[in-house]
Chain A
Amino acid sequence: MISETLETDVLVIGGGIAGIRAAAEAANSGVTVMLTNKGHVGRDGAAVWMAGMGYQAALYPPDSLEVHVEDTVKGGKYLNNQKLVHDFLKLAPDSVNDLAKWGMRFGRKDGKFVQVQLPGETYPRSMCHTFSSQSLGGEYRKVLPRQVMNKKNIRVMNDLFIIDLLTCDDRVVGALGVDLRNSLFRVVKAKYTILATGGYMALFDFSTANPTLTGDGQGMAFRAGVRMVGMEFIQFFPAAAIWPRIVYRDHFPYTLLWRLRGIFYNSIGERFMERYYPVEKDFATREAMSRAIYREVKEGRGSPHGGAYVSFRHLPRNLINTFLEEMKDNPFMKALQEAGVDIREDAIEIGPAAHYVHGGCWINERCETNLKGLYAIGEVGAGGKDGADRLAGNALPFCMAMGYIAGKEVAREAANDAVPEIDMQQAEELCQEAQKPLNRKNGITAFDMKKKLQRLMSDAMIFDRNKKDLEQALSELTRMRNEEYGNLAVSNKSKTFNLEWMEALEARNMLDAAEMSMRAALMREESRGLHQRSDFPEPKSEWLKHILITKNGDHMDFTTEPVSFPYVKPNQEKGGTTK
């Protein structure tokens, strides 16, 4: 079934910021690199094209690496893997210089980079664009793809969707992919493989991230035997647009709420924020805001599309007109206008949206996983670095640093090693498994399966997690795995760009990721950062440990790894556990 076997020194799976950085770095050291990507590198679902509100780097005193680490660990509620935090953030200033060298237009003043202060930063530490009003997102897409395109020793394989890792004697020896353009299976033999596939935000229908981020890396790593960590922590963006539909998932409403104080209403017209937060009322913190909206929806008082109403009608007409005039080029405000929504009169609907995940491979400071030959970086290279909550603007410096470290590391190793042998039988078996849905005449569709999974995740995994809901969701998930997964059928048999088949392959990864995150959430009997249990509302010092997951036959094995504190000691009075 395998149509082609390719060979390379280094295989990088995923062309986001982390993958591109790693591929470029490895190639600079002279080895051959293959970068495969679901979609077209630079025109795909990499999260970095949308990022840009923050890039933290401690550049100038009084700020320092120590303070940056401390802020990160405090933000992470002391659950961070401090060694990784320290070693990766140490490279943040160098990465800024590299990005600037590549052509990023960072704002500068008096010979220094301009930095602003985002929540959780002791000193202003977030980089800005030259145009203070512009986000950095566009700059990343300008400079990053260029690092890998038209380079002699980098082969970019667009539309090569990797479905599984290939192993031989506990060593990863490459990967198996489907070329979406012709549905042919390709084996890539590699001395070293770097996993950089991002997160699993698509487990939630409502997400600010790309629907293409379906936890493929988490799924394939887990199936290959990689130790996974942090799967229970999922970050939600407090206020994304739900309605009008044309702005669905847009995160501008959060900025809008910063600029204009809106008032929240539920479906019975009650200003419900006052009930939850008598003091802050409609201007509570982001987490508080999203939790209140979530409760209203859960208790049946949500807006028609599953959020809360936000209204600006109370504001004086000239005030709001001035604002509208200022925002006349803003794409969000324009889209509202085109949809016939006038914020002077109408409310919009908003709600919390999945934004970032902490779940991925357990790695060491060289980004190595427990499987020899496999490195993991970026969002899928979790390693417990983000702890229980992530500071805005820390993801990108982590991605850059990890890409650099892994790229250098594998290039050095690959120069000496021989290309490993592939177990062709294993590869054939994996092909057959992937083909099964195509061979079935009828059964459950991938679309339905994904929707069900998203429903389960939304019901049990957003806020107010508790044993009852989690167990219920898990038993349904187990049923789906046992009864439905075996009936997954793809009715479209086309061999060219078969989206339905792609979604079926994604659904398998989503099942694995969902199960890992639900089980970890059930196991962690405390509330900390992003993980809030209504039945265990307090943080507990005995839970200052990572939950690690490994595959054992058809089961998941759970172990824990205590957190160590080489740089920042937890605040003992509060049990080191400020919620």
Chain B
Amino acid sequence: MNKSGEHMTELRVLRYDPEVDKKPVYRSYMVPLAGSVLGGLKYVLEHHDSSLSFRYGCWGPGYERCGACAMLINGTPGFSCKVAMQPNGTTVEPHPKFEVIKDLTIDFDREQTGKRKQTKPSSRISIDSEKCVGCRDCVLLCPMNVMQMEKIERKGKAKVADPGSCCGFTCKLCVAYCPPGAIHMEALKVRGQK
């Protein structure tokens, strides 16, 4: 517990500052257990190290998710404003889909090329191509550019092109908005997570 009686827990952050660091390093901070991972990062910024960098937008009230705060949380891609701090420690790394600007801040304008870090998605997303009407909505909506269109028998259909980047249950935007309900998401068991 800290001075104001809050339960604290460890947050490990993969830090990388292109101005000084040769390669990324993990640093640990104690942050309140209550609240989201994004809340923990903000706590680090304000109380431990104001050079930490990460993105946020909507900060997740309500249904809508802007996707700004996407990162790897214990290896699983997710929106950090939607994921609770884990009692036995949480590790965060930048989302591997995009180039890193600094620490957890990624450049949504530039996708990573070359070999990427493998992720441990907590869900599997699939499209029923029988049902898909090829409207492209999921492609436009997905903050992580997971979906792509392809031609199947001369008809445009969506396909899950990059399942490893999907933010799963923290997002579910495509599932919620696909007009014919062609997208399904099922939970996967991930080692090291409840």
Binding site for B on A (CB under 8 A): 39-40, 42-46, 49-50, 52, 103, 105, 130, 134-135, 137-139, 141-143, 146, 158, 181, 208, 210-212, 240, 244-246, 248-252, 331, 335, 338-339, 445, 447, 490-492, 494-500
Q: Please measure, in the bound complex, the distance between the C-alpha atom of A204 and the C-alpha atom of B24, giving whole angstroms.
A: 36
Taken together as a complex, chains A and B put the C-alpha atoms of A267 and B109 apart, in Å, by 49
Of all A-B residue pairs in the complex, the 8 with the closest CB atoms, nearest first, are: A245-B35, A249-B61, A45-B57, A137-B64, A245-B34, A500-B50, A492-B51, A497-B53
User: Closest A-chain residue to B36, C-beta based?
Assistant: A246
Check B19 against A499 for contact (C-beta < 8 Å).
no
With A43-B57, A445-B50 known as contacts, the answer to whether A135 contacts B64 (CB < 8 A) is yes
Question: Is the pair B52, A496 in contact by a Cβ cutoff of 8 Å?
Answer: no
Q: A137-B64, A252-B62 are in contact. Are A496 and B57 (CB under 8 A)?
A: no
Q: Which of B117-125, B152-160, B173-181 contacts A (4 or more CB under 8 A)?
A: B173-181
The answer to whether B53 touches A498, judged by C-beta atoms less than 8 angstroms apart, is: yes
Q: Judge whether B64 and A40 touch: CB under 8 Å.
A: no
Report yes or no: B57 in contact with A138, Cβ–Cβ below 8 A. no
Residue count of chain B within 8 Å CB distance of chain A? 47
A-B contact count (CB 8 A): 148
Q: Is the Cβ of A499 less than 8 Å from the Cβ of B52?
A: yes
A245 touching B68, Cβ below 8 Å: no
Candidates A45, A139, A339, A497; contact of B102 at CB < 8 Å: A497
- Say yes or no: A331 contacts B82, CB within 8 Å: yes
Q: Which residues of A contact B18 (CB under 8 A)?
A: 496
* Residue picked from B61, B63, B179, most chain A C-beta under 10 Å: B61
Q: Which residues of the other chain, A, contact B82 by a CB distance below 8 angstroms?
A: 331, 335
Alpha-carbon distance A251/B52, docked complex (angstroms): 29
Note all chain B residues with C-beta closer than 8 A to A252. 62-63
Selected A-B contacts with CB under 8 Å, 12 pairs: A42-B66, A45-B58, A50-B58, A105-B137, A130-B179, A134-B176, A249-B60, A251-B61, A335-B82, A339-B84, A494-B53, A497-B105
B10 close to A (CB within 8 Å): no
Contacts of B57 in A (CB 8 A): 39, 43-46, 49, 210, 212
With beta carbons under 8 angstroms apart, the residue of A39, A40, A246 that contacts B35 is A246
- Given A494-B51, A497-B105: A50 touches B62 (CB 8 Å cut-off): yes
Residues of chain B lying within 8 A (CB to CB) of residue A335: 82, 84
B39 touches A491 (CB 8 A): no
- Say yes or no: A43 contacts B143, CB within 8 Å: yes
B173 adjacent to A138 (CB under 8 Å): yes
Cα-based distance from A240 to B59 in the complex (angstroms) = 14
Cβ proximity bits B43-79 to A, threshold 8 Å, 1 near / 0 not: 0011000111111111111111111100000000000
Chain A: minimal CB distance from B132 (Å): 16
| A130, A139, A246 interface centre (most CB from chain B within 10 Å) | A246
Given known contacts A49-B66, A212-B56, A331-B63, is B179 in contact with A105 (CB within 8 Å)? yes
- Nearest-neighbour CB distance to chain B for A229, whole angstroms, equals 27
The chain B residues found within 8 Å of chain A, CB to CB, are 17-19, 32, 34-36, 39, 45-46, 50-68, 82, 84, 101-103, 105, 107-109, 137, 140-141, 143, 172-173, 176-177, 179
A240 CA to B101 CA, complexed, in Å: 34
Which of A139, A491, A492, A499 has most B Cβ within 10 Å?
Answer: A499
Identify which of A40, A210, A240, A491 contacts B50 (C-beta below 8 A).
A491
* B142 nearest CB across to chain A (Å): 10
Tell me which of A130, A244, A249 has the highest count of chain B C-beta atoms within 10 A of its own C-beta.
A249
A494: chain B residues within 8 A (beta carbon): 17, 19, 51, 53, 102
In angstroms, Cα B64 to Cα A139, docked, is 10
Q: Which residues of chain A come closer than 8 Å to B141, judged between CB atoms?
A: 138, 141-142
**Chain A, residue nearest B39 (CB):** A245
Asked if A137 and B101 make an inter-chain contact with CB atoms under 8 angstroms apart, the answer reads no
Assuming A138-B173, A496-B18, is B101 touching A211 (CB within 8 A)? no
A211 and B56 in contact (CB under 8 A), knowing A491-B50, A492-B50?
yes
CB contacts (< 8 Å) of A490 on chain B: these are: 50
- Whether the pair A250, B101 counts as a contact (CB closer than 8 A) is no
Closest to A137 in B: B64
Asked, given contacts A246-B84, A338-B84, A499-B53, whether A43 binds B66 with beta carbons under 8 Å apart, the answer is yes
- Inter-subunit contact B39/A158 (CB<8 Å): no
Contact A249 B64 (CB under 8 A): no
Question: CB-CB < 8 A to B17: which residues of A?
Answer: 494, 496
